[in-house]
Structure 1
Amino acid sequence: MLSTYVTLGRTGLRVSPLALGTMTFDDGSWGSAPKESFAIVDRYLEEGGNFVDTANQYNNGASESTLGTYFVQRPGVRDRIVLATKFGGTLHPGDPNAGGAGRKAVLTQLDASLRRLNTEYVDVYWMHMWDRHTPLEETLSTLNDLVRTGKIRSFGLSNTPAWWVAQAATTARLRGWESVAALQVEYSLLARTAEGEQFGAAQAFGLGITPWSPLASGVLSGKYSRTATDHPDSGRAGYAAPLLTEPTFVILDALERIAKDLGTTMARVSLAWVRQQQPVTSVLIGARTLAQLEDNLASADVVLDAAHLAELDALTTPALDYPHPFVDEIGIGFQQGNTTINGLTSSAFQRS
């Protein structure tokens, strides 16, 4: 099911089309208790998945610790997994150097993550969020040193402005440092603004794209409707509530129709749409139960045709920031006139 692999950006890392997010792994008080978490990882690996994602701050370190215990109980499994974790989130709110992307913070956070994970290295080390206080060169040189010493194999950026991504990739190239491997961005049918700048930066610099929250906090999973908007049992109900508007329900109606046409579920259709977007490398899926995981894994076998893709695209086309509206509406004809270039046809711009 997941054994058709792709390389992550310009690295040699081969990753499965669906990555397993483990934000729900904890002691069972909010997410999945260790026994259920172990079963989820086992099942994911059985289907050929090999890309597992966590973070130092997920459940105050419990997600990493759960995976660390799993590796101890499953000898030999660690090295066949492409393991990703993140730095930046503080676990010590009173210490100003406990979080962020400064050298002191990065080195301390990585050592703590490696202890919790019971491993000597991580394959992808994500900067969880842009740090506005730390010089870019300090962060990049630290990550470059960590690659050289073997404690990390590569690094990526999450929740980071595209201008910073471009500056980081260019600086690394000019300095001869290890460059950015991939971006982790929020992306779903309800969150497409990454198409404006992040996708462009990724394509320009050859970076992989790993979308998070492809089901928009469960809104696109099929459990919400005009008459079912309250799910107190959901761990992300608070995130979902602001999205439950009439435009969203129109999208859910379309997903339901397409799911019925294909004999599948709305969640699988939503995940298939994200997976089929050209810049996407590997889609992050999460699950608190084995049943949720099975539904998400089955999305790998769903293929949307051109008509389905066009319908969903038309319903969810994002309003991008300047200069995109100006360039897309006026700029093409302004430059091309009445010609077709690289398959893009335009009419000459005329002042009204």
Structure 2
Amino acid sequence: MQHRRLGRSGLFVSEMCLGTMTFGAETTEREAHSMMDSFVEAGGNFIDTANAYSSGVSEEIIGSWLRSHRGALADRMIIATKARFPMSSDVNDKGASRRHLTRAIEASLRRLKVETIDLFQLHAWDPRTELDETLSALERATDSGKIQYYGLSNFDGWQISKVVMTSLLQGGPPPVSMQPQYSLVAREVEWEILPAARDSGLGILPWSPLGGGLLTGKYDRDSPIPPTGRLGHLASDSTGTKSATVAEHSWKILDAVRATSLESGIPIASVALAWLLNQPGVSSVIVGARDRTQLAESLKAVRSTLSPDALAVLSAVSEPTAADYPYGTRGREQHER
């Protein structure tokens, strides 16, 4: 597995990042430890979690694994976590206030059993807290060595630019990464969010790179979508039986991915992941799994090479439909004049 620079930082991360949202929910501690072992054996050094994943259990599982691997292996791992969402019914136990972030960082350090967090990310924008307060808390945490770098997740384009410009004006450290939902079936982030991130030198860390499971090839137009699956939220009723509620555009993208897979001999999921790894600004792709088997399938993407023609075909068929202005034809013409 190759390693890439995380934005403009001096940090290098594996091109695949192990996402751990399933840890403590769908994945037992024993299986999670086995998955992390497999990930490291494949050359991975980057693990992403959040305090909200299984109410902190995901972090605890990673912490127990790190403790069992004290020494060179644990030291070379890059651990990323996030905070923003509620951790209890306490009105102050959420958001990006100085109080909440300070306590969240301390709690994550305890659960992860580390002295510093390599990459601490704001899990989403907080409209209740002044940005100056948030950035001062992050600067203090950086200066004290409790975090090494900080990044953003699920921010809009204008929010990214505001964070970057405010941090520079204040003389504090700027963010180094942005974690958006991004895949062949979710490319609208290319209109504003990714340009803002790249313009500011942020490394892009896509989550849900397989479109909630659609790009694994396990679904088709004529089969029901289980309501408990990643794609279940797309169903139009509580029974989850209407696969037609997945946009036809997405089915056409899946058809193209299947055709590319058949022609190249590359697994369907690997085709989707390989396309994403070829997109500008992407530092690492976050892949989640319930077990070692699923993880092994995703990791095949690092050994997969798509031809320029295949990349072009996938990009063309997955181009998101936009209104004529500002993101459609008329909007593009304004920029080209």
Q: Indicate the TM-score class for this superposition, using the shorter chain for normalisation.
A: over 0.9
Amino acid at match of 2:64: T
Alignment of 1:1-352 (within 5 A): 2=1, 4-26=2-24, 30-76=25-71, 77-92=73-88, 94-231=89-226, 235-241=229-235, 244-320=246-322, 323-325=326-328, 328-332=331-335, 335=337
3-state SS, counterpart of residue 211 of structure 2: coil
Q: Which runs of 5+ in 1 are unaligned?
A: 336-352
Contact map agreement 1:21 1:286 (CA 8 A) in 2 = yes
Residue 78 of structure 1 deviates from its aligned partner by 2.6
User: Which letter maps to 2:188?
Assistant: T
**How many pairs are equivalent?**
327
**Cα distance between partner residues in 1 of 2:210 and 2:83:** 24
Amino acid across the alignment from 1:239: H
**Residue aligned with 2:96, SS:** coil
**1:324-350: per-residue Cα shift (whole Å, max 9, x none)?**
3265443145x2xxxxxxxxxxxxxxx
Match of 2:241 in 1: none
Question: What is the CA-CA distance between 1:90 and the residue it aligns to?
Answer: 1.1
- Alpha-carbon distance between aligned partners in 2 of 1:248 and 1:120, rounded to the nearest angstrom: 44
Q: Which amino acid aligns with 2:216?
A: S
How far does residue 227 in structure 1 lie from its aligned partner after superposition?
A: 2.8
Do the aligned partners of residues 40 and 58 (structure 1) sit closer, same or farther apart at CA in structure 2, a change above 3 Å counting? same
Cα offsets for 1:25-67 (capped at 9, x unmatched): 01xxx41101110010000001110110000000111111111
Larger-gyration structure (1/2): 1
Q: Is the 8 A contact 2:176 2:203 kept in 1?
A: yes
> Matched residues in 2 for 1:71 and 1:330: separation?
53
Contact 1:217–1:239 at 8 Å: present in 2 too?
no
- Residue range with higher mean Cα deviation, 180-189 or 163-172: 163-172
Shift of 1:11: 1.0
Go from structure 1 to structure 2 and tell me whether the alpha carbon gap of 1:245 and 1:323 turns closer, same or farther (over 3 Å shift): closer
Contact 1:222–1:265 under 8 Å retained in 2 = no
Residue 23 of structure 1 contacts residue 54 of structure 1 at CA under 8 Å; is this kept in 2? yes
235 and 110 in structure 1: CA distance in 2 versus 1, 3 angstrom threshold? farther
Query: RMSD between aligned alpha carbons?
Result: 1.6
Residues 85 and 102 of structure 1, relative CA distance in 2, 3 Å threshold: same
Equivalent-residue separation in structure 2 for 1:206 and 1:330 (angstroms):
26
Question: How many Å apart are 1:319 and its aligned residue?
Answer: 3.3
TM-score (norm 2): 0.93
1:165-185 CA distance string (max 9 Å, x none): 111111111221011101000
Work out whether residues 185 and 209 of structure 1, in 8 Å CA contact, stay in contact via their aligned partners in 2.
Answer: yes
SS in structure 2 of the partner of residue 212 of structure 1: coil
State the identity as a percent.
Answer: 39
Q: CA deviation at 1:193?
A: 0.9
- Could you report, residue by residue, the CA deviation over 1:255-283 in whole angstroms, capped at 9, with x for unpaired residues? 11110111121111011111111121110
For structure 2, which runs of at least 5 residues remain unmatched after alignment?
237-244
Q: Aligned letter for 2:246?
A: L
Superposed CA deviations along residues 123-179 of structure 1, whole A, max 9, x for unmatched, are 000100110111111111110111111000000000111111111111111221011
Relative to the length of structure 1, the TM-score reads 0.89
Superposed CA offset, 1:203-249 (max 9, x none): 211111000000011011110112333346x6424235466343222
Distance 2:153 2:140 in 1: 20
2: CA distance, partners of 1:86 / 1:176: 23
Question: Is residue 181–residue 207 contact of structure 1 (8 Å, CA) maintained in 2?
Answer: yes
Q: Distance in 2 between matches of 1:236 and 1:251?
A: 18
Is the contact between residue 225 and residue 232 of structure 2 (CA under 8 Å) also seen in structure 1? no
Q: Spell out structure 1 runs of 4+ moving beyond 6 A.
A: none
Partners of 1:219 and 1:240 within 8 A in 2: no
- The 8 Å contact of residues 221 and 266 in structure 1, kept in 2 or not, is answered as yes
Contact 2:17 2:46 in 1 (8 A): yes
Mapped to 2, the partners of 1:203 and 1:236 lie a distance apart of 28
